[in-house]
Amino acid sequence: MFFRNRKLPSIEAGHYKNTAQSPTEVMPVPEVVSISMSENIGAPCKPLVKKGDRVLVGQKIGDAEAFLSVPVHSSVSGSVTAIETMRNAMGGTDTYVTIETDGKQEVAEGIKAPVIDDQPGFIKAMRESGLVGLGGAAFPTWVKLNPKNLIDIDTFIVNGAECEPFITSDHRTMLEDADNVIDGMLAVMKWLIAEDGYIAIEDNKQDAIDNFNRLLKERGISKIKVFPMPARYPKGAERVLIQEITGKKCDAGVLPAALGVIVMNITSTAFVGQYLKDGMPLIKKRITVDGDAVRNSKNVLAPIGARIKDIMEFCGGYTEEPVKILMGGPMMGRAVYSDRMPLIKNNNAILAFSKAQAWIPEESACINCGRCHEGCPFHLIPTAYADAYEARDVKRLKELQVMQCMECGSCSFVCPAHRPLAFINKLSKALVKEAGDNV
């Protein structure tokens, strides 16, 4: 029907891909790293080391027994100087293992390519690798790749859309690490028994599209296809991506696996390919460092746990006093309160904004233009949430399906009155969650 099958709405948020042509530079190991014990959605890890211990590169330093968890590994060799609790970017507190590096980068024993014989072996290897969803969600990959309805999975989508402005780290992965992406895909598809593989790439990254097309042709792989998409925001959101590629609607709270689809970030996939070759767990991350307060914007391969300040020093330091520093892109990233925050696994960018770039115009009255609704990928009505939230009307919020909101920020972006609609949606969702089923 005319109304049903239309493409999902999206917005023009600008690209700002300033670093797309800058090859990744490897950052030397800083003097100190602070590795968070809470690098995934789910249970945080308990430190396996204590103050004074010597740790090696790739050594497991944190693990948890809970189901939804992955271990954390040391990205450096050195000695543990502190195990402390610090406020994190989300506003809560996490335990951090602080390691003073010795610069030797000695690799721990037993780091070798995993031997995988069967599906459970693959899942176990994925857990040991410490991999989480690197697109930003930090969902443990081994849980994602181990769905209850394994038999139903037929499609594996690798998400290289990278619709967030500024970020180019996935783009660089696609150019510099394409073979690992394909190897990772083949491995995942083998163990998922998925027939169709897609690499979704926005059409503003034509070089990446061409690169994959060439490699797939050279290697004679026909079950993986490159899927170019319009470069609009938020085409890279999981539920949007599934709709665009398979035409299946993915409801909030429903795992894509229920629709027979698994979506994985391109950098995660590249890591799978790499891990199966050398067995080195996830200890470093390619990130985009950009923003107008950074002297040399570039892509950096930084060790997990490196503090923002150190990464900035590597990029030539600040040009002026940073007012806002973001972990992630400007649409969904989190503003951190201090540049002593360390890099965590799911960061794909660090943006430092000056006063001018961090400026957001003052809010004015809603003029009912409907742009927030037109821009919402899920046809939600953010203005109605704002009214209902003001009245703390949980019933109305539920009627309006506020829980469908994925907080992409499109509504706030397009609002000519500059109302913080996405923020109100977050508060509304919290309100609905708090009220539970009582209303």
Partner 1 sequence: MSDMNFHDDLRVSSSPHIVTTLDTKKTMTFVLMALMPSAIAGVIFFGLYSLCLLLSCVAFSALCEYAYDRLMHRENTVKDRSSLVTGAILALTLPPTLPIWMALIGCFVSIVIVKCLYGGIGKNIANPAIVGRIVLLLSFTSSMTTWRYTNFQMANGTDAITGATPLGILTDSGIAGLPSLTDLLIGNRGGSLGETCIIAILIGGSFLIAMKVISPVIPVVYLCTVFVFSMIYYLIVPQEGANALYMSVFHLLSGGVVFGAFFCATDYVTSPIMKKGRIIYAIGCGFFTMVIRLFCSYPEGASFAILFMNIMTPLIDKYTIDSYYGVTQRAREEKKKAKEGANG
Q: Which positions touch partner 1 (CB under 8 A)?
A: 3, 8, 13-14, 32, 165, 239, 243, 249-252, 254, 309, 321-326, 330-340, 353, 358, 360-361, 364-370, 373-374, 377-381, 383, 401, 404, 407, 409, 412-418, 420, 422-423, 426
Angle, vertex CA 50, rays to CA 45 and CA 56, nearest 5: 85
| Cβ proximity to partner 1, 260 vs 281, nearer residue | 260
Angle, vertex CA 331, rays to CA 38 and CA 234, nearest 5: 105
| Cβ proximity to partner 1, 16 vs 227, nearer residue | 16
Q: Cα separation of 142 and 150, whole Å?
A: 13
Q: Cα separation of 431 and 63, whole Å?
A: 33
| Cβ proximity to partner 1, 227 vs 423, nearer residue | 423
Secondary structure of the chain: what % helix, strand, coil (to 5)?
30, 20, 45
Kindly state the smallest distance separating residue 309's Cβ from partner 1, in Å.
6
Angle, vertex CA 358, rays to CA 355 and CA 362, nearest 5: 105
Kindly state the smallest distance separating residue 361's Cβ from partner 1, in Å.
6
Kindly state the smallest distance separating residue 30's Cβ from partner 1, in Å.
10
Q: Cα separation of 130 and 373, whole Å?
A: 39
Structure tokens at 397: 């919020």
Kindly state the smallest distance separating residue 141's Cβ from partner 1, in Å.
24
| Cβ proximity to partner 1, 124 vs 418, nearer residue | 418
| Cβ proximity to partner 1, 123 vs 417, nearer residue | 417
| Cβ proximity to partner 1, 21 vs 364, nearer residue | 364
| Cβ proximity to partner 1, 102 vs 407, nearer residue | 407
Q: How many of the other CB atoms lie within 10 Å of CB of 111?
A: 15
| Cβ proximity to partner 1, 282 vs 406, nearer residue | 406
Give one DSSP letter per residue of 204-248, joined into a string. Answer: T-HHHHHHHHHHHHHTT--SEEEEEE---BTTTSHHHHHHHHH--
Half-sphere exposure (Cβ direction) of 208: Cα atoms closer than 13 Å: 31
Q: Cα separation of 424 and 422, whole Å?
A: 5
Grouping H, G, I as helix, E, B as strand and the rest as coil, residue 96 is: strand
Q: Where are the alpha helices (DSSP H) in 306-416?
A: 308-314, 355-358, 371-375, 382-390, 394-399, 410-414
Kindly state the smallest distance separating residue 301's Cβ from partner 1, in Å.
22
Q: How far apart are the first and last CA of the chain?
A: 34
Kindly state the smallest distance separating residue 129's Cβ from partner 1, in Å.
29
Structure tokens at 135: 């697109």
| Cβ proximity to partner 1, 143 vs 372, nearer residue | 372
Structure tokens at 408: 């992409």
